[in-house]
Amino acid sequence: LLHAITDALLGAICAADIGRLFPDDKEVNRGRDSRDFVLAALEKVSQRAMQIVNLDCVILAERPKMAPHIDAMRDHLAKLLGIDADRVSVKAKTGEGVGEIGTRQSIASRVVVLLSGA
């Protein structure tokens, strides 16, 4: 989810994606805390005199069930991003037994961020 948030922030300012800015073949990025990527992207947003209006996250996973963790995730993300929790949406969807998500072969996330001029 943090990588998707990073890419959403970078995409909203038309910057390079996470893989180009933080290539996984560079030793410094191996095992790196994903929060570092979010904070670096947030800094780029700030440098462009932009700020987050809201963040909408969807986690696609059959298991584990996300519902018990949604509020804590929203609060953690808000704190990380320096915004109020009421500006962060975290939802979870299943694959209903279909495809890689539904058959528990993978988990995915989608994120949309709305920015405005600071």
CA-closest candidate to residue 2, choices 90, 61, 69, 100 = 90
Furthest-apart CA pair in the chain: how many Å? Answer: 44
Asked if residue 94 lies in contact with residue 42, where contact means CB atoms within 8 angstroms, the answer is: no
pLDDT for the residue 118: 62
Q: Which CATH architecture has domain 2-117?
A: 2-Layer Sandwich (3.30)
Q: What is the pTM of this model?
A: 0.93
Can you give the residue ranges of every domain in the chain? 2-117
Q: What is the pLDDT of residues 69-85, one digit of tens each?
A: 999 999 999 999 999 99
Q: Which residue type occupies 74? A: R
Output the average pLDDT for the chain: 95
CA-closest candidate to residue 85, choices 70, 97, 102, 96 = 70
